[in-house]
Every structure is written in structure tokens, then in C-alpha cells.
Amino acid sequence: MTTDHSTRIDEEVVDAVASLGNRQRLEILVALADRERELGVDGHSMTFTDLYDAVDVDSTSQFSYHLDRLVGEFVAETAGGYRLTYGGDSIVRAIRSDLYESATSFEDRPIDGTCVFCEEDALVARLVDGRFVVRCDSCASTLVTDFFPRSQSAHRSPSEIVASFGYRIWSTVVLIQGDVCPECYGLVDTRIDGTERGDRSFYVHVSTCRECGLVITLPIEVTAAFHPSVVGFLWEHGISLFSVPLWEFFEFVTTETVRTAVTSTDPFAATVEIAFGDGTLPIEVGECGVVDVGDSADPA
């Protein structure tokens, strides 16, 4: 880890995290969230007495002490009493969904789609050390790796779990288009990066969050495909882009339905051309994203 990327831990952060290590305090957060859910009112405030009654604690002084430890980061004081902050709300969601727990079981599952590197249909989805991984069994490349929270595996069949990762990745692409971090909503910076595999070059947009440091890597073909003109163009040709997961999208690349021609490396410029039937749509991609959209040539 370089100095530029090192995370400084302030004493306030240590205090804030420490203040959560107590059953009564977690009960206070959950009580506020439960009341919001009961009433269907976001950001509902509870009075001191209401909240005291909802939590199993011996005395008002003890309750007061615990509540004080939460006020600021996790609970806000309002005219109507107390309500959850963004931080408090996030903690309750983590508790309810066991978000701190990774999925513990998921059987290896062959999935549709094509390896973008060796062009074989040999993709397998699997759980590796608590992460969701899409790997090619033919050339041993890893195509996708992502957190695999337990909540994502609950109430879903194995094929639904795989599909949910497809949607999760696409939601990330939409946020990145607006320079929004999918985890903390901080500002992300995007740059271009290229790798050589065999006789082919692959270019990716690498987006890094200035706040939490999350790094998202997406092929430039995906950046291009999410331009509204392409989404519409694909729809006109019978394809709902959002229902095609990333690993199936790779098939468009290997079959040259999506073709990329790099026109300059410094500064980076490329044309990603989407071709269906007689129609083609050229998208100009630069260092940070789509820079221009050509006219679609479609006799239909």
C-alpha cells in the first residue's frame, strides 16, 4: 500500500466503531428502524420515553448513557426526539441482512457466456473464499470477482443468484457513468488501462473512489454499450441489455458483434462499433468514457 492510498484512522472513528460493541446500543438502533418500518415513515423520530420503552435496559440513566454514545454518528437529535442517521441506518441494514457475513455455500455452476480471452464456452460460477467468481475452466482466467454477501444467496435459486450478480454489475456501470461510487456514493475518477493477452489488446476503464478507495474495472465495450443510443439500438434488435449479464455480453465481443478499433493511445481514443444485421452503431470512447456517438447506419 502506498502512502497516497493509506487510510488514516482518526480517534473519532475508533470511538464510533467501539460505541457499537454493546447490545443495548444496537437495540436502540434496531428499535428506531423497526418503528420506521412499522409506520412506513422514512426518518421517523422517536421520543426519549418511546425509545426507552422499546429497549431492554435497567434504568433511564443507563439508557441515557448508551443513547449518548450513539448520538452524532448513528443517531440524530431532532425536535421530535431521535432518528437514525445514514450511518445508523447502514448499521441496521447490515444487522438485518447479515451483510457482514459472506455466503457459505454455493455449488460450482456452469453458466452461459463466452470467455473473452480464449473464446471458449467454458465459464463456471463459483464461491471462492467468500467471493463470487466467474472463471473460465478452459484457460483458467478469472473474468469476474465480487463480494458475495450471505443476503444475496438467501431466497434465491442458484440460477437466480447468478442472475442477481449480473444486475449488480450493471447497476455499478450506471453509477460509474455519473462518477458515483456504488458503495459510498463518493466521487470516482476514471482512467484507461490496457493489457495484452496473446496477440490481442484489451482496454478497460478503471474507476477509483476518492473516498473509500473502491476500484471498479470495466471493459470499454461495456462503457460504450451503456450509452442510451446503444441500449436503444440493441432493444430495436431484440436485445434487452440489462438482462444480458456481463459474461454473456462477452459473447458479443468474441463474435465481433461488438468490435473495437483503437485510433490513438495517447490520448486514448477508440471506436466501439455495434453491429446487428445490416445495422451498425459507432461509439467513440476516450480516456474516461464515451465521448461521442456516431449515426447508426441501419437500412431497417
Total residue count of the chain as it appears in this document: 300
Contacts to Zn ion from residues 104-133, by CB under 5 A: 115, 117-118
Q: Which alpha helices (DSSP H) does the chain contain, by range?
A: 11-18, 23-39, 48-54, 60-70, 86-96, 150-153, 158-177, 220-225, 228-236, 246-254
Indicate whether 92 belongs to the interface with Zn ion (CB under 5 A). Answer: no
3-state secondary structure of 80: coil
**In this structure, are residues 156 and 166 in contact, taking their beta carbons and an 8 Å threshold?**
no
User: 66 is written with which cell numbers?
Assistant: 448508551
Indicate whether 175 belongs to the interface with Zn ion (CB under 5 A). Answer: no
Indicate whether 67 belongs to the interface with Zn ion (CB under 5 A). Answer: no
The Cα–Cα gap between 233 and 279 comes to 9
Question: Which one of 28, 29, 123, 181 is in contact with Zn ion (CB under 5 A)?
Answer: 181
Question: Which one of 136, 176, 224, 285 is in contact with Zn ion (CB under 5 A)?
Answer: 136
Comparing CB distances to Zn ion, the nearer of 172 and 260 is 172
Rounded to a whole number of angstroms, the minimum distance from the CB of residue 186 to Zn ion is: 4
Question: Which one of 75, 209, 216, 258 is in contact with Zn ion (CB under 5 A)?
Answer: 209
User: 146 is written with which cell numbers?
Assistant: 465480487
Indicate whether 211 belongs to the interface with Zn ion (CB under 5 A). Answer: yes
Question: Which one of 174, 212, 291, 297 is in contact with Zn ion (CB under 5 A)?
Answer: 212
Rounded to a whole number of angstroms, the minimum distance from the CB of residue 226 to Zn ion is: 20
**In this structure, are residues 130 and 103 in contact, taking their beta carbons and an 8 Å threshold?**
yes
**In this structure, are residues 94 and 100 in contact, taking their beta carbons and an 8 Å threshold?**
yes
The stretch among 7-15, 52-60, 148-156, 183-191 that binds Zn ion (CB under 5 A) is: 183-191
Rounded to a whole number of angstroms, the minimum distance from the CB of residue 119 to Zn ion is: 7
Q: How many residues bind Zn ion (CB under 5 A)?
A: 15
Rounded to a whole number of angstroms, the minimum distance from the CB of residue 94 to Zn ion is: 16
CB within 8 Å of 279: residues ≥ 6 apart: 233, 237, 296, 297, 298, 299, 300
Sites of contact with Zn ion (CB under 5 A): 115, 117-118, 136, 138-139, 141, 181, 183-184, 186, 209, 211-212, 214
